[in-house]
Chains A and B, each alone.
Chain A
Amino acid sequence: MAKKLMKGNEAIGEAAICAGTLHYFAYPITPQSEVAEYLCWRLPEVGGVFVQAESEVAVGNMLFGAASTGKRVFTTSSSPGISLMQEAISYIAGAHLPVVFVNIVRGGPGLGGILPAQSDYFQATKGGGHGDYHLIVLAPASVQEAVDLVILAFDLADKYRGPVMVMGDGMIGQMMESVEFPSKHREPNDPDKSDWALNGAKDRKPRIVKSLFLDPKALEDNSFLLEKKYEEVKASEIRYELYKVRDDNRLLIVAYGTMARICQTAIDELEKEGIIVGLFRPITLAPFPEKEIFREATKDNIEVVLDIEMSTGQMIDDVERCLKGQREAVFFGHTGGIVPTPNEVIEQVRRQLEKKK
């Protein structure tokens, strides 16, 4: 398929269709309302259904119901809306249902702002809803990667039968870039081939999709089953990207999403001055590339790790955890919709290298 110039939000909608998804439920919220404005006409063209729900609480629960059919279903929203979906996310995880959530993050807490931020990291990677469960969280750094990761998210949701979140930010949703879609759409899931989906207890025993286990042993078993699946995800689905990681790097930047791209620009500028800095970009924020960051950050040549985020410092907790005290991790960031500039990143790199002289 030829490359197209497309806005991130619309590309995300088209990517879901490529993944064989025909059911989308959403509630408008800036900065991602274009997904619904795109899919409201695009889905019917391919025989799909869009429902504009009365609230994000309802969206989450419509997804719960629709996912119980075994078909691919998803929503898109932004931070305050995702907060309202946490109830359903917890139930969906507990009931082992495949659902894709796209969060085009804006500044918080509260109503916050409408500009890009990465301040939902804790909510996405550490829970958000109640109970023992994990989301798989994927963080794209370009419109093309948003497309690729949305398609991957559906595959992972089906493979591990659980909720998956694609976490972009307002920049990913709003910017236009050239993008290429797979030439062949996935076939929609056939619910009648499922061994768990609800399609009527005609010639079999009834199936129950539920998260209530009054017997503590049964509940513990379900929670450890969720944990076991997450361990499998950890073993096979970790994704990350290295940029200009070399054995003469003195400093390693860790950044994801839009922030990682800005860091790449800064790294290119620094290279012109002969300062070679490496970038570690986690693509799976959950599970976090723990071993890989430890491996890269504790190489003999690395003196300091610089964690840069569009938040007050959330991922740094994970980065520090991975370093096991063997390297110092320093945080730099802006939040509330202020995006750190390449020049600010360059200045931070210089300052840290100066300190280590």
Chain B
Amino acid sequence: MATSAQTVFKRPESLTEAQTHYCPGCTHGIIHRLVAESLDELNLRGRAVGVAPVGCSVLIYNYFNVDFMEAPHGRAPALATGFKRARPDMIVFTYQGDGDLASIGMGEIVHAANRGEKFTTIFVNNAIYGMTGGQMAPTTMPQQKTTTTPAGRDVSLAGYPVRMAELLSSLKTPSFVARAAVHTPMHIVSAKRIIKRAFQLQKEARCFTLVEVLSTCPTNWGISPTEATKWVGSDMKPYYPLGIFKDPDRENE
């Protein structure tokens, strides 16, 4: 049988060739790729507009081959709202970390979700402020050591980590809210399916869509990349359960 070379794996068209600045063992790169593959596969690249956050992924526009806006800290959902209301024909997504979305941007994300704005949010939860050097985030785990909680997060003073997916899924307005992880190949495959579904729902102008993705920060967690992926499974996943919390097709369940 004659065989010819066939491409089975390539850089998605939605990504540029630029090498990312992310630390070794950080999973931002994987999440970028899953978003880019979803845009490619749904043929959305040419009408996609991303909104960059403030945080480690502020330079995300260097890696995506799509139009981008760069929001003030936490305000990406407000920018996305403004853009999408003015151009409902475009595909709009925000890409935000935990400090950006769950702390300073808590108001903007809750109200965008509650209005049912038809954009997609990729919420990267790595339980720490990465870019500013490892301070406590609203999603930092109890007892987790950070530069502002050197003795570990004291829940009697700082409260418990915020579960954004659960919080947003408590809103009555129909939406798609899910949590995924990317610390093992199996989880990456599942995260891809969920992210693609979020963009598919936006393509159909169905509802607000948000995918929380558990991510790693070996640099600021002070452990190796291998230990970091293990910690996601052993410590984060039990507190932040994975799954689809709200789905417009399951509103009456």
Contact = CB atoms under 8 A, between A and B. Distances in A.
A2 interface: no
Given A200-B47, A208-B61, A65 B67 contact: no
Contacts of A346: none
Which of B48, B80, B86: most chain A Cβ within 10 A? B86
Interface in A195-231: 198-203, 206-212
Interface string A48-75: 0101011101111111111111010100
Contact of A73 (B52, B67, B86): B86
A191 B83 CA distance: 12
A55 B107 contact: yes
A58 B72 contact: no
Nearest to A50: B85
B166 interface: no
Contact of A54 (B51, B80, B111): B111
Nearest to A202: B46
Contacts of B81: 51, 58, 62, 65
A66 B83 contact: yes
Given A61-B75, A64-B79, A69 B47 contact: no
B26 interface: no
A73 B78 CA distance: 14
B56 interface: no
Interface in B108-153: 108, 111, 115
Nearest to B73: A87
Interface in B48-98: 48-49, 51-52, 58, 61, 64-72, 75, 78-87, 90
A288 interface: no
Contact of A64 (B47, B78, B84): B78
Contacts of B192: none
Contacts of B246: none
B179 interface: no
Contacts of A101: none
B107 A201 contact: no
Nearest to B59: A212
Contacts of A206: 61, 64-68
A8 to B, nearest CB: 26
A198 to B, nearest CB: 4
Interface residues of A, number: 40
Contacts of B196: none
A200 B69 contact: no
Which of A53, A202, A203, A208: most chain B Cβ within 10 A? A208
A47 to B, nearest CB: 12
Contacts of B46: 200-203
Given A51-B85, A91-B72, A198-B83, A61 B78 contact: yes
Contacts of B70: 95, 208-212
Nearest to A91: B72
B78 A65 contact: yes
Contact of A200 (B48, B64, B84): B48
Given A87-B72, A198-B49, A53 B67 contact: no
A117 interface: no
Contacts of A95: 69-70
Contacts of B51: 65
Contact of B67 (A49, A63, A198): A198
Interface of B: 45-49, 51-52, 58, 61, 64-72, 75, 78-87, 90, 107-108, 111, 115
17 contacts: A54-B108, A58-B75, A60-B78, A61-B71, A61-B108, A62-B79, A62-B85, A63-B82, A66-B83, A67-B82, A88-B72, A198-B69, A198-B90, A201-B66, A206-B66, A210-B61, A210-B69
Given A53-B111, A198-B90, 4 more contacts: A65-B51, A65-B78, A68-B83, A208-B70
Which 4 A-B pairs have CB atoms at the shortest separation, nearest pair first?
A65-B82, A65-B79, A202-B46, A61-B78
